[in-house]
A and B are shown apart, each in its own frame.
Chain A
C-alpha cells in the first residue's frame, strides 16, 4: 500500500517536472513572474515527491514485501536491517530511483536559494527548465524502463539477498557520493545553459554556480576514493585501481570537471576563455551520460555492472539529442562569448592553465579511448580486444606525472605576465629539497631511475606547495604582528579558494607518492602451492607461517565463512610481527565466493594476504601475498584533498574589517547557495 503510494508519488514528480519545464520559459517569454514562480515551486516539489517514492520502496524493503520484484532481487529474510536500507541502491532499478532522489535534492536546493539577493533572477526560468528536463528524463527512465515498484504475480517465499560484493561501507557510501557528484555538476550545467539562452556574455553563471561546482567535484572525488578503497578491501586484487570501465567512467568526468574549476578562474579574473568554459561544462555533462549509457547497456563488462538492460540505447539516443541541442545553442552564441582580454604572455597563470587544461583533456581522452576500445575493435575488426591496466599505466600515467609537474609551476606564475627571474628564484628551495630527497632515496637503495625521478618531482611539487603557505604566512607576519598559526589561519580565511586549492594540490601529491610506491615497488607472489600446517613461505621481508583454518560465524547471516590463520615474522631476524586472518565467504544463495584479504603491516609497508584455497579441512592451504609500499599515502592524500575542499567551501564569518578582495578583477559577490 505504502509502496504503491510511493509509485504514484514518483509519477506526480514526473508530471511536476514536465510542468516546470514548460511553464518556466513561458513565464520568461511573457514576462510573467507568476508563471516563473509556479515553475520554480513545481521543481521544488519534486524532492518531497521522489522522497515519498523512496520511502515507499524502503517500506517494502524493511517489511520483506517480496511481492515487489525489486525487493526479492536485492534482499532476503536474512539480510540485516542496515543492508535492507542500503539495498535501495543495490541494483539498477532502485539505484535510478535513488539517483532521482539525490538529483531532486539538488534541484530543490537550487530552487530555494535566494535568487533576488544573488542577483541572477534572469537565469531562474531557464535553470528551472534545464534541471526539470534532466530530472524528468531520469524519472521517465525509472517509471517506464526500470521500474523498481513493479509487483510480481507469484511472490517468492524469500528473496535472493544483496549482492555480497556490495556489503562494504565503501560500496555503500560510494554510489551515493558519485551520484551526488554527477548531479551536483548538473547545477553549473543548468546555469550555463540558462546563460546561453539569455545571451549573457558575463561570468554570472560561473560565479553563481561556483560553490555548487565545488560540491559536485568534491563528491565525485570522494566517490572515486571510496570506490578505490572498496576495490582494495573487498575485491582481493591487492590493488586499489584496476582501470575497470566502472571506475574509468567517473574518472573521465573528474578529468574534465577539474580543468573546468581552473579555467573558470581565468574567466572570472580576466574575462577570457568564455567559449572554452562553456565547452568544458557541456563536455562534463556529456561524459556523465556517455558513461552511464555504456555501463548500463552491458556493452562493457565490468566488475560491478549490476545489470545489463535495455536502457543503454535509450541513454545513447538521449545523449545524441542533448549533445546536438548543446552544440546548436553554443554555436549560435559564439559571438556573444568573445574574449574581453588578450593573452599578454604565455608565461603567465593563464598560459599555464591553458596547458594544464589541454593536458587534462588529453588524459581524459586517453582513458576514454582505452575504455571504449573493446567496443570499437569489435565494431570495426570483429574481435573484442581487451585493454588491460598496462595500457593505461603507460599512456595516462606520464600525462598525470606532467600534471603533477605543472602543479608545482602554476602557483609561481602571476596573472597577466611573469618575470622569469622571480620565478626561477622561487624554484630554488623546492628544487634543492627535491634533490636532497632523491639523494636520500638513492642512498637508501631506490636506484631505479624512473621512480626516483618521479619521487623527486613529487618532492619538488610538495615543497613548492608548502612554500606557497610559507610565503603567505611570512607576508602576513611582516604586515602585522601575527604569530605563525594565527597568520596561517587568517591567510586561509581571507583567501579560501587559493589556499584551499593548494591543500587539494598537497593531497594530490601525497596520492601520487602512494601511486608511485605501489606501482614501482609493489611486490606480489603467485598463489603459493599448498602450504602444509606449520609450514612457512617468504615474500620480500616477511615470512608467513600457516597455523590452520577454521569456520567462523558469517557476518551477514547468509554465508559460510572460513578463516585462515598465519603468523607473520621478519624474514631477516625471525622476529614475530603479527598475525593475518584472511577469509573467504561463500554465499550459497548467490553461488558467490567473496575473498576478503587481511591487511596488516606498517603505514608505509602494507602486507595484504589473500586466502586462495584449502584442502582436506585445512591440512593444506594456499595464499597470495601483496606487499604494497606507500599505498596508505593514497588514502591520506585523499583525506587532505577533501579537507582542501572544506577550506574552499566553508563560509568563514568576517571578524576583521573587510578589505577589498585583492586579486579579483571586480568585487566578487558571494554566489553562494542558500544552504
Chain B
C-alpha cells in the first residue's frame, strides 16, 4: 500500500533528521567583537527613516548611512548608548524607536496584550469555576482503570474486536 509505505518512509526520515539534529546541534557561540558593534547595536533599536518597516542597521540607503555616522560620532564624543537613543528620541519623537517606550503615551500598547491575556484567562477560569460549582465533582465520566488512558484502553479493545 503506497500510502502506508510513504508514511513509514517519511516517519523514518523524520526521525533520522531529528536524531541528526540533536547530535549536531551546536548552539553556543563565542561573541566575536565586530567593528562598530556599539553603533550597530544602537542602530538596531532605531527605525529607518527611508525604508518602511526596517530598522536602521539593516537599511542600505544614504540617509541611513548619515544617521549611522551620527551615532558613531556621538559615541566617539563619549556619549552612552542610552544618551544617543535619547538624542534621537528628543529630535524625532518616539516614532524613531523600534521598541516603543513602556511608559507615557505608548504604555497602553504594552498593557493591552497583558491585560487581554489576564482578562481572557480569568474569564475562562470563571466559566470553569462556575460550572464545576454547579456539578459536584463526579466520578470520571468514562470508567478508567487506574493509570490507564481511556483512549488507549478503547484502542486495545478495538484491536481485539477486529481480530
> Is B14's beta carbon under 8 Å from chain A?
yes
Contacts of B117 in A (CB 8 A): 359, 362, 366, 399
> Is B156's beta carbon under 8 Å from chain A?
yes
> Is A633's beta carbon under 8 Å from chain B?
yes
Report the separation of the CA atoms of residues A433 and B72 in the bound assembly, to the nearest whole angstrom. Answer: 47
> Is the Cβ of B114 less than 8 Å from the Cβ of A526?
no
> Is the Cβ of B99 less than 8 Å from the Cβ of A480?
no
> Is A309's beta carbon under 8 Å from chain B?
no
> Is A588's beta carbon under 8 Å from chain B?
no
B64-105 Cβ-contact flags toward A at 8 Å (1 or 0): 000000000000000000000000000001110111100001
Contacts of B32 in A (CB 8 A): 523, 538-540, 571
> Is A492's beta carbon under 8 Å from chain B?
yes
Number of residues of chain A lying within 8 A (CB) of chain B = 113
> Is A320's beta carbon under 8 Å from chain B?
no
Chain B min CB distance to A39 (Å): 38
A480-509 Cβ-contact flags toward B at 8 Å (1 or 0): 100001001101111100100000001000
Which of B7, B29, B31, B162 touches A492 (beta carbons < 8 Å)?
B7
> Is the Cβ of B34 less than 8 Å from the Cβ of A345?
no
Within A252-293, the residues touching B (CB, 8 Å) are none
Report the separation of the CA atoms of residues A663 and B141 in the bound assembly, to the nearest whole angstrom. Answer: 13
Chain B min CB distance to A380 (Å): 9
Report the separation of the CA atoms of residues A416 and B11 in the bound assembly, to the nearest whole angstrom. Answer: 32
17 extra interchain contacts, Cβ-Cβ under 8 A, other than A414-B151, A441-B25?
A242-B54, A343-B135, A344-B135, A386-B47, A387-B100, A388-B100, A414-B142, A422-B144, A444-B25, A445-B28, A475-B159, A480-B160, A506-B14, A526-B36, A527-B60, A652-B3, A662-B154
Report the separation of the CA atoms of residues A521 and B29 in the bound assembly, to the nearest whole angstrom. Answer: 8
9 contacts between A and B (CB under 8 A): A344-B132, A362-B116, A365-B112, A366-B117, A386-B97, A391-B110, A399-B113, A444-B28, A662-B154
Contacts of B157 in A (CB 8 A): 479, 662
Chain B binding surface SS class: helix
Report the separation of the CA atoms of residues A343 and B131 in the bound assembly, to the nearest whole angstrom. Answer: 6
Q: A303-B52, A343-B132 are in contact. Are A365 and B8 (CB under 8 A)?
A: no
Chain A min CB distance to B133 (Å): 10
> Is the Cβ of A388 less than 8 Å from the Cβ of B99?
yes
> Is the Cβ of A345 less than 8 Å from the Cβ of B137?
yes
Contacts of B36 in A (CB 8 A): 526, 529
Report the separation of the CA atoms of residues A357 and B28 in the bound assembly, to the nearest whole angstrom. Answer: 35
> Is the Cβ of A479 less than 8 Å from the Cβ of B29?
no
Contacts of B125 in A (CB 8 A): 346
Q: Which 6 A-B pairs have the closest CB atoms?
A: A479-B159, A445-B28, A416-B141, A388-B98, A526-B40, A366-B113
Within B31-48, the residues touching A (CB, 8 Å) are 31-32, 34-37, 39-40, 43, 45, 47
> Is A184's beta carbon under 8 Å from chain B?
no
Chain B min CB distance to A241 (Å): 12
A356-368 Cβ-contact flags toward B at 8 Å (1 or 0): 0111011001100
Report the separation of the CA atoms of residues A521 and B39 in the bound assembly, to the nearest whole angstrom. Answer: 20
Which of B8, B114, B140 touches A414 (beta carbons < 8 Å)?
B140
> Is the Cβ of A421 less than 8 Å from the Cβ of B27?
no
Report the separation of the CA atoms of residues A386 and B47 in the bound assembly, to the nearest whole angstrom. Answer: 8
Which of B97, B127, B153, B155 touches A476 (beta carbons < 8 Å)?
B155
Contacts of A426 in B (CB 8 A): 149
> Is the Cβ of B141 less than 8 Å from the Cβ of A385?
no
Contacts of A529 in B (CB 8 A): 35-36
Within A382-417, the residues touching B (CB, 8 Å) are 383-391, 394-396, 399, 414-417
> Is the Cβ of B27 less than 8 Å from the Cβ of A517?
yes
Contacts of B47 in A (CB 8 A): 386, 388
Report the separation of the CA atoms of residues A355 and B45 in the bound assembly, to the nearest whole angstrom. Answer: 34
Chain B min CB distance to A65 (Å): 33
> Is the Cβ of A630 less than 8 Å from the Cβ of B113?
no
Contacts of B109 in A (CB 8 A): 369-370, 373, 385, 387, 391
Name B residues whose Cβ lies closer than 8 Å to a Cβ of A. Answer: 3-4, 7-8, 10-11, 14, 17, 20-22, 24-32, 34-37, 39-40, 43, 45, 47, 52-55, 57-58, 60, 93-95, 97-100, 105-106, 109-110, 112-114, 116-117, 120-121, 123-125, 127-129, 131-132, 134-135, 137-142, 144, 146-163
> Is the Cβ of A391 less than 8 Å from the Cβ of B124?
no
Q: A416-B140, A604-B25 are in contact. Are A342 and B134 (CB under 8 A)?
A: yes
> Is A574's beta carbon under 8 Å from chain B?
no
Q: Which residue of B lies closest to A346 (CB)?
A: B128
Report the separation of the CA atoms of residues A445 and B29 in the bound assembly, to the nearest whole angstrom. Answer: 8
Report the separation of the CA atoms of residues A418 and B140 in the bound assembly, to the nearest whole angstrom. Answer: 7
> Is the Cβ of B162 less than 8 Å from the Cβ of A656?
yes
> Is the Cβ of A354 less than 8 Å from the Cβ of B124?
yes
A509-530 Cβ-contact flags toward B at 8 Å (1 or 0): 0000000010001011111110
> Is the Cβ of B34 less than 8 Å from the Cβ of A526?
yes
Q: Which residue of A lies closest to B109 (CB)?
A: A373
> Is A534's beta carbon under 8 Å from chain B?
no
Report the separation of the CA atoms of residues A451 and B27 in the bound assembly, to the nearest whole angstrom. Answer: 10
| Of listed A342, A384, A479, A495, residue having the most chain B CB within 10 A | A479
Chain A min CB distance to B134 (Å): 6
Report the separation of the CA atoms of residues A571 and B34 in the bound assembly, to the nearest whole angstrom. Answer: 13
> Is the Cβ of A342 less than 8 Å from the Cβ of B29?
no
> Is the Cβ of B105 less than 8 Å from the Cβ of A389?
no
Contacts of B45 in A (CB 8 A): 390
Contacts of B134 in A (CB 8 A): 342
Within A599-655, the residues touching B (CB, 8 Å) are 602-605, 612-613, 624, 627, 629-630, 633, 636, 640, 643, 647, 650, 652
> Is the Cβ of B52 less than 8 Å from the Cβ of A650?
no
Chain A min CB distance to B96 (Å): 8
> Is A667's beta carbon under 8 Å from chain B?
no
